[in-house]
Structure 1
Amino acid sequence: MTQNLVLIGHGMVGHRFLETLAERGALADPAAPDGPGWQVTVLAEEDRPAYDRVHLSSAFTGATDAELALCATEAALFKDGEGRVYAVGNRDPFSGADVIAHGILGTRDGRTVVASPMYKQEFDLLTGECLDDPSVRLPVHEV
């Protein structure tokens, strides 16, 4: 029988708790909602996945959100006309929505870019740099 668990907050301790449940096979299988295990609901104030708060000050010396993340984040994959594959973070930094994978692939000034489907900012797929606001970047993943 599935039991419900509400986790308040998704910091380092909460994240480790969920990892332990997963390692022990104690989480419910979404494909079998009446099966054994815990169905978890996470209530968190922050709109980002759990991150390493101990090393948070390294963000001031260049550490990225992806480097501080404790769990995997969604990636958006693109293949250009030449067959090159790119992977960047799926979260639009301007809207907070996971929509970059639905963006429009193109080029701008000789750079391969994706335009966010939300507010249309364009991001360089090699560097993650927002061409409309260079202070903003998407995380870039190795393919």
Structure 2
Amino acid sequence: MADTMQFDLVSPERRLASFQVTSVQIPGADGDMTAMEGHAPTITTLRPGILKVEGPEGTHDYVVTGGFAEIRADGVSVLAERAVVKGDMTQDQLDEMVEEAKATYSKAKDAFQNEPGPVDDAAKLLSDMVAMGDEIGLSAKQPNL
């Protein structure tokens, strides 16, 4: 059996998970990655997506909207802006997340009219949010960019 490591998932509201796992698939802002015991220490930002955790008791999926993951040789700690157990995710929650991303995009367009960086980042956030909804089987109303 594969070696295990400690996994902790915390959001501002509460601690969602704390148990031993064999791997954690992380939706990193710079690309997806899988952490296992002995992984090189890394800190990465999260993009909206599915955090998949595998361990002796099975697989657990969480919807995350952003935050940070700290990978250590002996474990992974995820500090999520917002996190929900994938099976508990509702259409209303997704709609609220997409609306927040739309508002962020709109503000960025107004505030940074000739500066594509922040506008592009906000558009990517909105796009990732819609793609996450598709991945979990919920339908986001297609945003008008």
Please give the range of the TM-score, normalised by the shorter of the 2 chains: under 0.3
Query: Larger C-alpha radius of gyration, 1 or 2?
Result: 1
Structure showing the higher strand proportion among its residues? 2
TM-score by length of 2: 0.20
Whose helix fraction is larger, Structure 1's or Structure 2's? 2
TM-score, normalising length: structure 1: 0.21
Higher RCO structure (Cα 8 Å, ≥6 apart): 2
